[in-house]
Structure formats: structure tokens, C-alpha cells
Structure 1
């Protein structure tokens, strides 16, 4: 390569900077040209208006004055030719008196007059939007991805995905927290705190900490049990509501509806690294399912594989791995599916026990390993990011583990659906 990596990046930055300055000069020059055209157009309108005024004025005066002058000339000529004048000139011809015909009626008619109304000035409003359409929109910069390469180093470098913390031989239960529900369903840790949100078989979502204290209770707007919940990067609660087909957020003590669907039911939800929200949606008849990434202005849908066949069949849980893969759990097909960030299929995991696999909640951690709650077998599976089985968590007296969530330090929170409790488990060294 002619440049080192740093030199290459600096070169690219210089090219972009020069290109930006060049485009700025073009924009200024284009603006000057459009301003000249505008001024010339105004001048032409001004000249045209003056010409029209002259024509109108001449059109008003000439016909009337010419007709009037013609009538005056006729009157003078008639007066000159009247019999009385002839008598004065010593004429003895009586026939001139008897043949005289008066032209008073003819000459009494006044020529047609004009009433001119000045037309109103019709100035068209020029809005900023219309002006932008005239000038055109400056296109955004285009970013192309150039394949990278591996740097040659003289000493080993630890990869982000390389495990540097081992799974404990005997994971430890740090806390058993009573949620107050008869059945406990979903749990989601709040980033960089010892707090979490949990929901169960009522319309109330509870904000709790690892001491077991209930810090806040949030009642859903519909009065219906929430299906799933997640937490934004800022710590705001977001939940899905099957009753009114909505996605809702609690902020500053108030619940606001972010989205309401028609023909679709929002189910599982999770926050992802791009600040977007990932939602599993199912049609009313449960025959179609999609994973939709919602952001501020657009949505991205994933539903078919490369062969045009549906990927998902009524999935229940979803989460994003640290490598940006999406992990989807489906209790009906007894499968955990992993797709990449573009929605392309990577692999399926169908369990590693002789017993039937019953996957429920899924979670990931900082080493990109995937944790799966196996409800009916009362264990948690741990697999790596490529689907390779690592081990079970089966020594924490788990009973029907249902949902999972990991906090910023990779502590594991597990809901037990029939016992109404959340367990905090330390499973890494």
C-alpha cells in the first residue's frame, strides 16, 4: 500500500475537505447566476409594465380625440355650407333652402369613451420550500465501505469476542427477589444501575432494585397486562401492549404511545445499539411474523430468507447480541434462531439435551455468548456467538425460568414464571 492506514485516512479526509470547498464555491457561483437571472427577470417585467401603460394610454386618447375632431370639422363645414351663408353671398336659388337637410342628430352623438381599471398586483408568495425546489437540494455525502485488512502486530491482541472471563463451575444466586406477582414474566435491567423493570400477570409494571425494594409502579394505559418491556439507553421504560396494539414509553412520569398498529400485534421488543427499537410483530391470524426495526423516521422489516420463505413463525422473544446479530426465540418451533444485522440467517439452535427443548427468554453478554431459558427443563443454556454449546446453568434451583436479562457487569436476572420471583445470578468469574 502507498500509505499507512493513518496516512490513508488523512488523505481521505483531505480529499473530502477539498471537495467540500470546491462544492461550496460552485454553490456560491450558482447562487450568483440565479440572482442575476432573477434581477434580469424583474427588469423585464418592469419594462413590459411601462410598455403596457403607454399602449393603454394611447389606446384611450387616440380613438376618442380623432372622432371628436372629425365631428368638429364636419360641423364647421356644414355651417359654412348652410343656406343662410348662401343668402349672405347673394344667392337667389330657392332650391338650396328647400333641399337643406339638417345633420344635427348625426353630429349630436358623442364618441365612445373608455373606463380603464388598473389590474391588481398579483405577487406570488415565494416560500423557502419553493426556493429550495428552484435551487435544488444539496445531496448528502455518499459513504462507501472499503474492505479492511488485518494489521500485522508483533504481539497478540485480545479480540473483543475472545472470552476473557470463564463461566463459574457453580454459578451463585446472589438474591431472590419477590416481585409480588403470582406469575412473573418479563424482566429488563436498567443500564449502569442495580435496578430493573419487571412485569407479571397484572396491569402493573414494577421498578425494583437488587435490594428487593419497589421504587415505582407503572400502570399500563390500557389496563391490560404488558406483553414485553425494554429500557432505552436513557433509562426510559418501553413496553408493548397487545390490548390496543401499541408501543408505549414512560418518560417524566407520563406514558406516551409511540406507535399504534393496524392488522398487526406488537409482541417482543428490545433496544438495540443504534438507539432504535426492535419489535416482533404478528398478524391477527398469527400466520405471518416480522421483526421490525423502528427509528425516528423509517422502519426496516425482516421476514423472508434468500429463498423467499418466511424466516419467523410466531416468535416470542428477541434480543441483540454485542456483535449486532439478532437472537430470536420461538417456543412453538422449539428453536432459537440467529440472523445477522441485515436479517440474513446464520444458524438455529435446537437444544443439547435428550429431552424436548422449550426455549423462552434470551439474553447476551459482553463476550457475545447467548443465554437461553429452557423452561420445561429448568436450566439455562449458554452457547457462543456461532451456536456452539458451552454449558448449562443448572445448579441454582431454577424452576421454570422464563425470561433473562443481563446488566452492565454481566449479572444475570432470571424470572421464574410460576413462583413470582426474580433471581440475580453470578455466573462469570
Structure 2
């Protein structure tokens, strides 16, 4: 090849100089770049000085030479020695060892890397971010409490006039000192956690590079670091000081002016098995507030003509909706329509859900399809035979839970799908009796403790089974309810495994704990015919008002 041309034509056949050859010798490339056109492959294979493995150019890197036998290709992976080997090695130093086909081992490693990447990105890192967020809340509470106490101290000091000005400064000074100490502790933990988060981000970046690499040596040498990150730092629980005014006695002014309790800190260990069922590192952070409040009130294009039925959060700022027409709509919090998608069949969707990947999944009752909207493309995930899909949810493990009726409407069941594969069927209790009523809507959610929760409208109950499909409890409304019967519609769950259920007939939301114990209502937000529910990442409840076609974003916990 003319050296002057080599800079212009980077890839040429090693034998005939044909530009852009489509093939590649995966063994000879170790010593030199062997790019081959189809016409020259035969001549290259005649060279018996070494073995050859000619592959398409885009498959390069998937072969490697044996470290012991330089003319041999590694076809196996010795799991005992943790090394790639050739067939000759099997009968020598690796005799009797356990082997895996090298490409299968490569793919298994890729899968493991993908899982680590997803856990870091979707589970571990968010939990660290959540802890940092909690620290920010505590810092704000500390500041708010300090302002409140300072105001109370000053108010009490006004009654003592100028003779107690010096005394007033004393507890305030103590409070400031406590704040400084407390802030120092909170800032220290915050900085430590942020340092770990930066390491997680770097690890995620490294894993992305590995996922995009075909370098078998780099990929097979990968060792997971997720175990190191799974052990969360201790949880810092602050007990805020309080101010107690005393009756004024000038003779004992210094003792009687006030008492200021000292701050305290309780360090609680996190549940470090982050992947364990029901693990919840943030349960104490998000207590219910006494008076839920409306954060946003959003009008949609549904309403008088089209009932608004289902909602699912794409993010904190964007919400998918569906109703009794064939259009699924994506809104932002300003009520602007960001996107609209028509169902494949032209009939209204039974239900919608957002998958972990961010794609929209919906059920088509008439066609017996479960479809996915990926960007602008429509893809059928599951085609049912003899059954029709009603409602659907996506789980934390990216499975699908689908409520369905058989074609004659006499049976109902819940089926869990992993990809296209049916993984679990939930239909009967331990006595062989049906768990669910035969007809009508049944909204479904998986709880953080991996319970499956179904709001069964026709049965007037929320039916909850555990991970194995065994009945845990049914909730039929609070015992003291004197209004119309409980007919649940939409259902949502939060990070504390609390269950929130739309009571359409009574214009309110029921809240229970994970064991079905009634906690309280949300009935102060002027709700009208609440139907679909979802909880966003900031623990706000999104309510679809079916008749008015409105979305209400409600803060119900801290």
C-alpha cells in the first residue's frame, strides 16, 4: 500500500488492498491488523502457521488467544481458575474443572454488569440521594425550629423589659451553639454521603463503558463493587430543642427565665440488605401530615364527554393520562399537552402504566393485547388467548402485573409477566375460592413489601396477597363509615407500603398501612369523583377527577 494513501484509507484488505473489507481475523489481529475482503478469506486460511477465526468486522474483539497455547483460540472459561482457556488446556492443567462456553460466559458477565448498572442507577444511588434530601429537610427544620424558639424567647423577654436583656442573650447563645454543633454533624454526614455518591456515579460511568465494550478481557475481569455500596451509612435522627418559659421572679431571674432543652441525636442503622423484600430505609422520613394540601390543580382535555380514568407518573413533572376515548395524553404540571398517542385498535385503553424504562404500557380490552409505546412506535408485548386484560401495573423488578377476565366474564385473575413469559398466576385463596369478583375494573399496584394490592370495585374491597400469592387481608373501608358503600377505584402505594384508594362515591381517598389498618381519609381537598391514582417520586399523590377531567397533585406526607 502506498504510504501516502494509508492515511486516507484506514481499513484495507491485508492481501489485496481492497478498501473497507467486511471481515476480520480474530486471532491474527493479536500480532497485526488482519482485515480481509471476501475474495481473500480462502488465501488467508491456507496459512497453517496459526489457527484462524474469521468473523464479520463488527464482531471483532469476541475472540482471544490462549495464554498457554499461543496458536489456539480460547473457546471455554474455567470457572475454577477464573481464566479463558482453549480446548488443549482442558486435557492438561485444567482437567476435571468446571467449564463454561466462552461466549456464554461473556454474555452472562454482560448481564451481571447490566444488573449492577441498573441497581446503582435505579436503587442504590437514589437511596443515597434520599438520605441527602432528608438531611436537607432536617437542616431546614433545625433552622425553622431555631427561628420559632428565638421568637418565643424574645416574646417572653419583652415582658421583662430592659432588666432581662442580658439574660435573654444567654439561652439564645446556647441555642446558636447547639445549632453550630448540630449543623457540623449534619454537614459532615452530608459531605460523606455526597462523596460516596460521586463514587457511585463514577462506577456507573465505568460500567457504561464496559457495557459498550466488546473487549472480552476487560469484561471478564470485571468485579462487582455493588456490595461495597449496599451498606448504607447510619441514619441520623435529630431531636430538636424546645423552649419552656417560666413565671417571672426578679430574685431568681437567672434560674426562672427559661429552660432550653439540649439537642440530641439518635443514630439508627439502615436496613443494609437493600435488595431484600420490604426493605425501606426511609420509612421514618415521611409521616402523614394532618391537613393534606393541593399543590397543583391541572385541567386536561378529558371531562364532560370523556371520563378521566387512569394516571401514571413519567416523572415528577410529567403525567400520562387515559380515559374513555382512544387517546393517551402526557401533561406537564402546567397543564400543557406534551404528547398524545392513539391506541392501536382505536378503542379506549383499559389502563396505563409507566415501566421502569420510561416506556408507556397499556391494555386493550377489545383486542386482548398488552401494548407498549416506545417513542413513537407501538409494540405488542402480550397477546392473550381466552382472556381479556383489564388493569396493569409495572413492578420495581420491571415485571408486569395484569388483571384479566376470561372471555365469558365469569372469572378473574392476576398474572405476573417477566418479559413475554408468564411467571405467576394469582386466582384462588387457600380454600380454592376466587380471590376476585368476576367482572368490572380492578386497579392494581405492587407494594414496596412486594404485596400485590387489587382495588376490586365490584367486591367493594381491596384484596392484598403476598409475594407467593397467599391472601394477607382484605380492606372493606373503615368500620365507622356511615356514608355510601365502599366501591374502590384507583389504587396507589408509597415508600412506606401505605395503600391509598380512591373512593369515587364518597369523594375521598382512604389511607391504610401495609397490614390494612385504616389510617385516615384525604377528604379536605374538594375532591369530586376521584378515580385514577399514582404517587410521584417526591411522595405527592396524583388524583384523576373522572367527571371534571382534572388532575390534582396533593401533598399528604412529609
Q: TM-score, normalised by structure 2?
A: 0.49
- In structure 1, runs of 5+ residues without a counterpart are 1-18, 34-127, 133-152
Structure 1 CA distance, aligned partners of 2:321 and 2:386? 28
Which residue of structure 1 lines up, in the alignment, with residue 456 of structure 2? Answer: 330
Match of 1:226, SS state, is: coil
| Residue 198 in structure 1 maps to residue 198 in structure 2 | no
Partner residue of 1:275 out of 398, 407, 429 = 398
CA drift of 1:389 comes to 1.1
1:312-355 CA-partner distances (Å, limit 9, x unpaired):
22361100111111110111110001111111110110101133
| Residue 21 in structure 1 maps to residue 80 in structure 2 | yes
Which residue of structure 1 lines up, in the alignment, with residue 300 of structure 2? Answer: 179
Structure 1 CA distance, aligned partners of 2:336 and 2:404? 33
1:73-125 CA-partner distances (Å, limit 9, x unpaired):
xxxxxxxxxxxxxxxxxxxxxxxxxxxxxxxxxxxxxxxxxxxxxxxxxxxxx
Match of 1:177, SS state, is: strand
Structure 2 CA distance, aligned partners of 1:156 and 1:215? 43
The answer to whether the 8 Å contact 1:358/1:377 transfers is no
Name the CA shift for 1:221/1:27 in 2 (closer, same or farther; >3 Å). Answer: same
| Residue 223 in structure 1 maps to residue 335 in structure 2 | no
Q: TM-score, normalised by structure 1?
A: 0.64
Q: How many aligned residue pairs are there?
A: 293
The answer to whether the 8 Å contact 1:265/1:282 transfers is yes
Which residue of structure 2 lines up, in the alignment, with residue 348 of structure 1? Answer: 474
The answer to whether the 8 Å contact 2:299/2:549 transfers is yes
Structure 2 CA distance, aligned partners of 1:175 and 1:372? 20
Which residue of structure 1 lines up, in the alignment, with residue 360 of structure 2? Answer: 237
- In structure 2, runs of 5+ residues without a counterpart are 1-77, 93-100, 105-234, 236-265, 272-279
The answer to whether the 8 Å contact 1:231/1:237 transfers is yes
Name the CA shift for 1:341/1:312 in 2 (closer, same or farther; >3 Å). Answer: same
Structure 2 CA distance, aligned partners of 1:316 and 1:277? 15
CA drift of 1:413 comes to 0.5
Structure 1 CA distance, aligned partners of 2:460 and 2:299? 29
Give runs of aligned pairs for residues 67-86 of structure 1, distance below 5 A.
Answer: none
Which residue of structure 2 lines up, in the alignment, with residue 310 of structure 1? Answer: 434
Name the CA shift for 1:23/1:297 in 2 (closer, same or farther; >3 Å). Answer: farther
Give runs of aligned pairs for residues 114-153 of structure 1, distance below 5 A.
Answer: none
Give the structure with higher Rg (CA). 1
Q: Which has the higher contact order (CA 8 A, sep 6+)?
A: 1
CA drift of 1:277 comes to 0.8
Match of 2:459, SS state, is: coil
Name the CA shift for 1:24/1:177 in 2 (closer, same or farther; >3 Å). Answer: same
Which residue of structure 2 lines up, in the alignment, with residue 367 of structure 1? Answer: 496
CA drift of 1:177 comes to 1.1
- Two-structure CA RMSD over aligned residues (Å): 2.6
Match of 1:286, SS state, is: coil
Partner residue of 2:531 out of 387, 402, 408 = 402
Which residue of structure 2 lines up, in the alignment, with residue 170 of structure 1? Answer: 291
| Residue 424 in structure 1 maps to residue 550 in structure 2 | no
Structure 2 CA distance, aligned partners of 1:297 and 1:261? 11
The answer to whether the 8 Å contact 2:381/2:420 transfers is no
CA drift of 1:254 comes to 1.1
Structure 2 CA distance, aligned partners of 1:288 and 1:297? 22
Name the CA shift for 1:226/1:412 in 2 (closer, same or farther; >3 Å). Answer: same
Which residue of structure 2 lines up, in the alignment, with residue 256 of structure 1? Answer: 379
CA drift of 1:304 comes to 1.8
Which residue of structure 1 lines up, in the alignment, with residue 417 of structure 2? Answer: 294
CA drift of 1:155 comes to 5.6
Match of 2:80, SS state, is: helix
The answer to whether the 8 Å contact 1:205/1:220 transfers is yes
1:233-290 CA-partner distances (Å, limit 9, x unpaired):
1211110011211111111211111111121000100000111111111101221111
